[in-house]
Amino acid sequence: MIIPAFDLINGKAVRLYQGNYYHQKNYDINLHSSLKEYALKGVKLVHLVDLDGAKNIKSRQLELLKKILSYSTIPIQIGGGIRNEQDIEMLLNLGAKRVVIGSICILNKSKVKEWLKRYGSDVIVLALDIHISRSSKKEIYIHGWQKKTDYSLEEIIEYFLSDNLKHVLCTDISKDGTLLGPNVKLYTEIVQSFKQIEFQASGGISELQDILTLKKTGVQNVIIGRALLEKKFTIKEALKCWQNE
């Protein structure tokens, strides 16, 4: 599945270069019109990130998210500063299809286990942001990629597998927002290791060939942000490329 992504700061669509808030590019788009177009073209899911909420939960763009969810006919998964049950309940009640859990799945693993049981594996998406070390370890970073943890990607997925973990959004942070191409080796390895997981590949997509290459890894979903915003290709071309491969 092709999943278009929009990162939002102060109501505007933006892209950060490798997660850096000081390296921000703004895009003059009408989100309502974009979602309407995507629905007509056949997009099945959209990924939204509240970057204000991710940075400071008191700055959460709640009214904006409420508005978007009220008019979108496409199911939406939302991430950004989700830290407790109240956050999850609020977004689900507003109409979100899934919630994307980031740093908290490392900081409070037992709590996230409870959420998987309570809300179901179709609702909770684990967002695991990684950096490949010199020793080829898939190191997990948290707090907007500012802090390295002692955990590897494989360790965290294994931990949650017994609770029917299904959706994992995996981002190679060295690729995100760069248009330098995806980490094909990474997705090839994790798809082979965890056949029961529906991975969402994120980071580096710049051309249609990247979509074809990722599909050959067996990954089931590809998140595309900057390439669509900068019209490197159209959503129609991306969907056709995915379906025809």
Catalytic residues: 7, 129
- Burial group, residue 174, by CB count within 10 angstroms (0-12, 13-18, 19+): middle
How far is it, in rounded angstroms, from Cα 182 to Cα 176?
Answer: 9
Phi and psi dihedrals of 240, rounded to 5? -65, -40
Please name the helix (run of DSSP H) or strand (run of DSSP E) that holds residue 9, with its range, or none.
strand 2-9
